[in-house]
Chain A
C-alpha cells in the first residue's frame, strides 16, 4: 500500500526522502513533541437517480498536505491544497509557530513495517464503465417499483471513493495506505390514501464497486427499503414514557456508538470532561456486556489498515463483562495519558486535525435466543431500525431516533409504531441490559460519524438487546 500511495502522491510532485526530511526538520525544534506531514489525495464519484432517470453525476478530486506540530498539549496546524515543496515548507513554518523555538532539528525517517491488509487496493472510481452504473441505477429503480404499487418515488445514490495517504512523522513513522470505499443508498416514498411514508436502506464497505452491483447485494437493500415504507404506512402513534425497549441486531448498535463509544474516546477522558472519565475498572454494564472497537474487520466501512497517524488498526476492548477497561486513543492523548495509541487517530481529510474516533464498534453476542427476549417482555417496544443519534459527552445523555419500531404486548410483537426518539444516560443504560441475544450482526455499511465538524465512515453492530428502562418520546 505504501509504495502505491507514494507513487500516487509524492512522485508526481518530485517529493522524495530528502524533501520530506527537510520539511520534518522544521518541525523538529526544541520543545516539539511530534511533527507530522499527512499527504492525501481522494477522488470521489457519485450518481443519483430520481423519478426514474439518472439526473445527476458528480466527480470530485482533492489533494493536499496537512502539517502539524505538537508541543505539550498544544497543536500548531496548517495545510496546503497543493502538494509542492514550497507549499509544504510554508505550512511547516505556520504549524511550528506553536513553539517559541526558532531551532530546527534533524529527522531521519524510514519506512515503517507494513501493516496487515484488511481490504484491497482497487480504485472503485476507475473500475467498470459509467454506462453500467447508470444502467444499474435504472435496473434498481424498476425492481423497487415492481415490489409494491404504493411506491411513488424512488431515489438511488451510488458513490465510490478512492483515497491514498502518506504519513511521515518525527517519531520515525513513514507509511501509507490506499483505501477504497463504496456505498449504495435506496430511498422510497410510499403512498396510500392520504398517508405518505418513507423507507430507506443501503450498504457498502471497502471493496470493489462490482460487488455492490451484484443483485444479491442490492436486492436485499431494495426489499428492506420497501418493507420499511410499507410498515410505516400502518404505523400508529408511539407511546410516551419510560419503558422496556428491545433493540434488534445490527444497525441499532448506534446505541453503543452514542451511549458508550464517544464517551470512551481518549481526548474527552484526558480532559476529564466525559461522563466516563476516571472510571476505568468500574462496572458500567451488566456482566453479559462486552463491547469492542475493531478497525481490523475485513473490508468493513469503518475498517483501516493504519489509522490517519500511521498506527496499525487495532481491536480495543472497551467494556469487558460489564467493566470499563479501555479508551480509544490517538497519539496526542495516548502520550498525555501515558498509554499506547490504539489505532483510533482519524481525520476527515488533510485539512482537519486527527482525534480519537471510532472504527467499527459492537457488542459481542450473549446466550439468549432473540425470540426468548421478545417473549420476556410484557409491555414495551421493539425497535429494529434507526436514523442516527447524538450524545452530550459530559452529561452522558444520548438520543437515537427509531425509523422502524413495534409495540410488544404480552411477549408478542404487535402493531407498528411511528418513529420516536429514545433518550437515556450513557453511563447507566447498559446497567439495565436484561438480556443479550446470540445473534450478533454488523450493520450494512452506511454509518457516518460526526465529531467537532469532521465526518468519518464508521460501522456499528450488536446482538438483540433488552433494556429494562429507556424514555420513549412518543405522543400517545
Chain B
C-alpha cells in the first residue's frame, strides 16, 4: 500500500485558525452582500470538514475514502419575509449567487411575524473551550491496520462467523462558523473518530447480522480494536436460532441502543416544530408528569468532550444546562427561536435539537432489571417508522430475546411491539446503569411495564 497524497486536504487539522479565518471572511462577505441587497437581517452558517475512512472486508481493503465537505447556508429576512439558499461550492461567484437567490425568494414568500433573528441579547457572548478538538494526523495505512485488527478479532471469535460485511475506521475534523447581522460571530471546531464492525454468523437456523461500534472525540479514547471486533461477534452469535414469540401483553426491556429512541420520541413530541403544527400527542404538557417521579432528564449542552456539545445553538443563542424533565414532570419544551415565537414563548436554545440530554435517577444493573421483569421481552433492535407522534401510537418491528424468570430463554425476531407512548413513558419501571454516553441522548436500559407483543398466532 502506497502513501496517500494529501496535498492541501490536511489544511483543516494543520492550521484550523487559518481555516476558521477563511470561513469567517466568507461569512462577512455574505452578510455584506445581503445587507446591500436590501435584507433587514441575515444569518449564515458555514462548515468545512475533512474525513478519511478505511474499510476492510475479509482481510482485504475494500474502500479508501478521502472527503472534504464544505457547505454554506444563508437566510435573509426582509419585511418579515424570509428566503434561504445553500451550496457546497465555496467559490465567491457561487456564494454571491446564493445570497441573491435568497433575496429573490424573500421577495415572494409571505410575511411571517415569527421570522427573523433571535434577540441580540441572547446571542452567545463567551466561547469556552469544550474539549472537542483532538485531531490526529493518521494516514490511510494506520486506519487500514486498525480496521484489519478489528475484523480479525471478530472473525476469530467463533467458527460460526463465516462471513463479514467488514470493519471500518474513520477520522473526521470539522470547523464551523455561524454569523448574523446582530454582529454575532461564533466559531466551533470538533473531531470525531469512529470504528465499527459488522459480522455475519450462520448455522442450520439461518444467517444473522449484527455489529458493534465506538466513537470518540479523542482517538485514544476509542475502544481497543479487539473489543469492537469481539463485541460484534458476541452480538451476532447470540442472535442465531431466533424465532417468533407468542402474541400477547408483556413487559418490555429496551436495551440502551433502543432506549435512547424512546427518550427521542418524548423529545420529538415536546419540540416546537411539532407543537405549533399541533402534530404532537403532548400539546400543553408543560407541568404534566410524563415520566415516573424517579426520573429526570437534564440537558448538558456544554458537557466537556460531549458528543453534541456546543456553546451556541443553530440560531447563535447561548446554550446552558437546564432540566427538561425533573422528578417526572415536564418543565419546558424544546424550542428554537422560530418555533418559540410561533408559540408565543421564548427560545430554549434548542435550534437544531437537544444537546447531551442525560437521564438521571436511581439505576440498577441491567441483569437486575431483567430479573425484575421476570418474564418478558428484551429488545435490542427496532425496525421501521411505526411511531405516530400526533397520536402517540407506537407499533414497530423488533428483535431481541425472550426472557423467562429473569434469564434469557431464546433469541426472538419477526415480532412487533405496540403500545401508546404516553403509557410507555409514564409506566417505566426502572432504568439501567448501562448508560451509553456515545450519543446525544444518554440513557441506560429502560423497562416498560406493558406492551403488546405480536409474533405467532
Contact = CB atoms under 8 A, between A and B. Distances in A.
Contacts of A424: 414
Given A58-B105, A243-B457, A399 B397 contact: yes
Contact of B397 (A353, A397, A474): A397
B108 A81 contact: no
Contacts of B67: 78-79, 351
Nearest to B101: A59
Contacts of A152: 278
A423 B66 contact: no
B247 A241 contact: yes
Contacts of B115: 55
Interface string B179-209: 0000000000000000000001000001111
Contact of A399 (B69, B383, B456): B383
Contact of A59 (B90, B105, B396): B105
Contact of B386 (A78, A134, A273, A421): A421
B368 interface: no
A59 B98 contact: yes
Interface in B274-292: 277-279
A389 interface: yes
Nearest to B239: A395
A393 interface: yes
Given A61-B97, A82-B91, A196-B391, A395 B57 contact: no
A421 B384 CA distance: 8
B383 A392 contact: yes
B264 to A, nearest CB: 17
A152 B102 CA distance: 30
B247 A242 contact: yes
B242 A55 contact: no
Contact of A61 (B7, B98, B165): B98
B277 A153 contact: yes
A101 to B, nearest CB: 8
A415 B168 CA distance: 50
Interface residues of A, number: 83
Looking at chain A's contact residues, is the secondary structure mostly helix, strand, loop, or mixed? strand
A189 B278 contact: yes
Contacts of B393: 418-419
Nearest to A80: B68
Interface in A386-429: 387-390, 392-401, 418-425
Contacts of B386: 387, 399, 401, 419-421, 473
A275 interface: yes
Interface string A82-97: 1000000010011001
Contacts of B397: 390, 397-399, 421, 423, 473
Contact of A421 (B85, B109, B395, B453): B395
Interface in B139-193: 140, 163, 165
Contact of B105 (A57, A72, A79, A473): A57
Nearest to A41: B89
Which of A153, A189, A240, A387 has the most B CB atoms < 10 Å from its CB?
A240
Nearest to B210: A394
A1 to B, nearest CB: 23
Contacts of A58: 83-86, 105
B413 interface: yes
Given A401-B395, A423-B416, A273 B64 contact: no
B375 interface: no
Interface in B57-75: 57, 60-70
A392 B209 contact: yes
B384 A401 contact: yes
B455 to A, nearest CB: 6
Contact of B207 (A100, A134, A275): A275
Given A82-B89, A90-B8, A353-B63, A59 B385 contact: no
Given A94-B66, A240-B418, A54 B110 contact: yes
Contacts of B36: none
A81 B97 contact: no
B199 to A, nearest CB: 10
Contact of B383 (A81, A273, A390): A390
A242 B455 contact: yes
Nearest to A100: B2
Interface of B: 1-9, 57, 60-70, 82-91, 94, 97-98, 101-102, 104-112, 115, 140, 163, 165, 200, 206-209, 239, 242, 244, 247, 277-279, 383-386, 388, 390-391, 393, 395-397, 399, 413-420, 452-457
10 contacts: A47-B109, A72-B60, A74-B63, A79-B67, A82-B91, A97-B64, A390-B383, A394-B200, A418-B393, A421-B416
Q: List the 10 shortest-distance A-B pairs measured between CB atoms, nearest first.
A: A473-B416, A399-B397, A394-B209, A399-B384, A57-B105, A421-B386, A242-B457, A53-B110, A401-B386, A240-B454
Interface of A: 47, 50, 53-64, 72-82, 90, 93-94, 97-100, 102, 130-131, 133-134, 152-153, 155, 189, 191, 196-198, 238, 240-243, 271-273, 275, 351, 353, 387-390, 392-401, 418-425, 471-475
